[in-house]
Amino acid sequence: MIEVQRKEIYRYLGYRKIQPTQQIDRMIDACMEQMEKVLEPKHNMVFYPVSFPEKDRIIIGPMHITSKGLYRNLQNCDQVVLMAATIGMGIDRLIRRAEILNMVEAAIYQAAGAAYIEAYCDQINQDLITAQKAKGKTCRPRFSPGYGDFSLSYQTYFRDLLDMPRTVGISLTESLLMIPSKSVTAVIGISSDEKIAEIQGCASCLQADRCMYKEEL
């Protein structure tokens, strides 16, 4: 069961702090009911040691990455987890059907889909944090290919190292987009030091000043 906060769906619909009308709320209820029937959450995780040959350069398994953002994120980490998660193909079909029958529902499914996959990732992330805490370790906020200067091209490594098509049913298009669309890949750094802020969210994003979907804290 994925616990989703209603306000997250509102946020992805562009509502910010405002409560939608009852009519829209009922539509969201109906859409969520349909979604729950077709959700197929799956995830896979693999541990890798991480090393830093020089500043802004990171080596994880066969990946040799140059990224200021990822380097900063993984400071003082000796291990990383490579993660892939999805809520399945069913939601993509619901969106496609809705685009034919009722555009409003399509927008709601998109927003709800985004809220669900993020909630699922938060759950998986939290489980990891708890497990690592028992070993006296902390986790960094998850960092995905495509964030900042961590190139999207590393998606092919994720696909191969996690055997994504077979283990979680995620494949890549020619332009490295994931299908099903509500899928996430990420690096989660693990460290023995006590740095806080494990799941960071909007505050750390470079687009924070001009985003209409930013969370209001």
Calpha distance 195→184 (Å, rounded)? 24
- Among 5, 26, 47, 197, the residue binding another protein under the rule CB under 8 A is 47
- 166 is a contact residue toward another protein (CB under 8 A): yes
Residue 46, interface with another protein (CB under 8 A)? yes
Residue in 126, 130, 131, 165 binding another protein, rule: CB under 8 A? 165
Counting contacts by CB under 8 A, is residue 159 touching another protein?
yes
- Minimum Å gap between C-beta 160 and another protein is 5
Residue 181 CA, chain-centre distance (Å), reads 11
- List the one residue from 76, 102, 130, 192 that touches another protein (CB under 8 A): 102
- 89 counts as binding another protein under rule CB under 8 A: yes
How far is the C-alpha of 124 from the C-alpha of 122, rounded, in Å?
6
Helix (H) or strand (E) holding 80: strand 77-86
103 contacts another protein (rule: CB under 8 A): yes
Q: Measured between alpha carbons, how far is 208 from 195 in angstroms, rounded to an integer?
A: 23
Question: Can you tell me whether residue 41 is helix, strand or coil?
Answer: coil
Which residues partner with 49 through β-bridges?
79
Radius of gyration of the chain (CA): 18
**Minimum distance of another protein from residue 196's CB (angstroms):** 27
Amino acid making up residue 110: Q
Residue 202 lies near another protein (rule: CB under 8 A): no
**Of 183, 1, 168, nearest to 92 (Cα)?**
183
Residues that bind another protein (CB under 8 A): 13-15, 18, 20-21, 23-24, 27, 40, 45-48, 61-62, 89-90, 92-93, 95-97, 99-104, 106-108, 110, 146, 152, 157, 159-161, 165-166, 169, 171-177, 179, 181, 210
